[in-house]
Structure 1
Amino acid sequence: MTPGMTVPTLPPVTLDRRDGPYGEVVLRRRGERLEIIANGCFLMDTSDGRSERLLIDAARDALPAGRQAPAVLVGGLGVGFSLAHAAADERWGRIVVVEREEAVIDWHRTGPLGEISRAARADPRTVILHTDLVEYVRTTTDRYDALCLDIDNGPEWTVTEDNGNLYSPAGLAACRARLKTGGVLAVWSANPSPAFGEALRNAGFTGVRAEEIRVARGVPDVVHLAVRTA
């Protein structure tokens, strides 16, 4: 390659495009990478997955010592990194994934994302629910040891306006109600959010902190962590 030559960016190839109740979702391939786009907003791709794995590990590591077979709720199936990582860890018990986009579930069951999640979906601990996460945490009576949520680019950068309800006082109260005592809420974000940390404290969570994940370009990704102590 000639010194100083710029490597051309491969154009994306659209593999599937769906219009649903929450807007448009698109699966694209860019070289070896698969990308999910929602309403024109880039959500995630298959290039790395470090932050999705840290989301799961950070929640598990924050649980009280000695807790056996903790149940985890994964909010957002996405490209499947979080589910696959949880299922690869025998310490987790029940693994419930909530995904509102039927297209995303289809891309795992019969499409190219299946390669990432196939073993995890076959795991008897795994259940995938086709429903809206905001509605689920508000209405279900199930309780979990950990909630690992990754449905937006962050509390201040939501895919749809309705998702903002998850980070509101009422939404955080619903998340807290879904946790067992000592349970952990972990929320992925593309940017640090001190305001969200304060919102977690105001909602009655303790041990509020943020773990940064260095990325190749831009500010670090962040996992916000909070504990229900009572």
Structure 2
Amino acid sequence: MTSPVTLDRREGPYGEVVLRRRAEHYEIIANGTFLMDTSDGRSERLLIDAALAALPEESRTGASVLVGGLGVGFSLAHAAADPRWGRIAVAEREEAIIDWHRRGPLAAISGAALADPRTVILHTDLVAHLRTTTDTYDALCLDIDNGPDWTVTEDNESLYSAEGLAACAARLNPGGILAVWSARPSADFEESLRNAGFSAVRTEEIPVARGVPDVVHLGVRPG
């Protein structure tokens, strides 16, 4: 396996974040935990597609979405490539990641999406934003951790609690979709979604070469 080359390393309010290149791919590491890379964006694209498909057909054109986590930009780029999305907001708390997209090597993935007039980047912590903003969306597509059971920082754990899911529901329009990416299925999180009042709870899987599949957990805020 090719050894990674560190391109940038920064200390921020949430700890260390690192951008590495391994052969032709880029990797983001946060506090020593691998977050994602550019080798395969299928699950990030599924996050967007599954949320849109779960909306009522009459609500899909002009729908609004909040993407939680800019990451390597696959989710944003995929949303911007679909003209049915009317408003695309992305919440990203790490200034370094935003910089890597605006002025660094990740611009190759997200440049067109960032230039799209439907797109706005919110430099903010997603958990805090959900609890303070008055904006509402047709879909929340969240990918800030390796899953509900494997968070990058302890503060993120509250997002998957009853209080955090209530905050998500409050930011969704009636019939809106909550989609949460995870590196592994979580039956406990499915139950948490149901207990929080979400309906039509289900999990879509993306097979991987080895180990358990990546998944997207989905729930509908009742109308």
Q: Place the TM-score, normalised by the shorter chain, in its bin.
A: over 0.9
Are 1:17 and 2:35 counterparts?
no
Structure 1 residues without counterparts, runs of 5 or longer: 1-8
Name the counterpart of 2:65: 72
Q: Report SS of the residue matched to 1:93.
A: strand
| Counterparts of 2:201 and 2:210, CA distance in 1 | 26
Confirm or deny that 1:58 pairs with 2:50: yes
Match of 2:194 in 1: 201
Structure 2 residue aligned with 1:183: 176
What do you get for the CA RMSD once the two structures are aligned?
0.5
* Shift of residue 216, structure 1, vs aligned partner: 1.7
Which of 89, 111, 126 is the matching residue for 1:96? Answer: 89
Tell me how far 1:215 sits from its aligned partner: 1.3
Counterpart check, 1:227 vs 2:213: no
Residue 164 of structure 1, CA deviation: 0.3
- 1:116 is displaced (CA, Å) by 0.1
Find 2:30's aligned residue among 38, 43, 60. Answer: 38
Question: What residue is the counterpart of 2:154 in the other structure?
Answer: 161
SS at match of 1:59: helix
Give the whole-Å Cα distance in 1 for the aligned partners of 2:180 and 2:192: 13
Give the secondary-structure state (helix, strand or coil) at the position aligned to 1:66. helix
Q: Distance in 2 between matches of 1:56 and 1:88?
A: 11
Which has the higher Rg, Structure 1 or Structure 2? 1
Aligned partner of residue 135 in structure 2, secondary structure: coil
Instruction: Deviation per CA, 1:18-71: give whole Å up to 9, x if none.
Output: 000000000000001100000000000000100000000000000011113000
Alpha-carbon separation, structure 2, partners of 1:163 and 1:147: 16
**2: distance between equivalents of 1:215 and 1:128?**
30
Supply the AA of the counterpart residue of 2:69: G
1:195 Cα shift? 0.1
2-structure distance, mates of 1:51, 1:119: 20
Distance 1:200 1:219 in 2: 21
Amino acid aligned to 2:221: R
Residues 1:105 and 2:98 are matched in the alignment: yes
CA distance in 2, matches of 1:24, 1:186: 27
TM-score (structure 1 length as normaliser): 0.96
Asked if residue 214 in structure 1 is aligned to residue 207 in structure 2, the reply is yes
Could you list the structure 1 runs, at least 4 aligned residues long, displaced by more than 2 angstroms after superposition: none
Count of residues paired in the alignment? 222
Percent identical among aligned pairs is 77
The gaps in structure 2 that reach 5 residues or longer are none
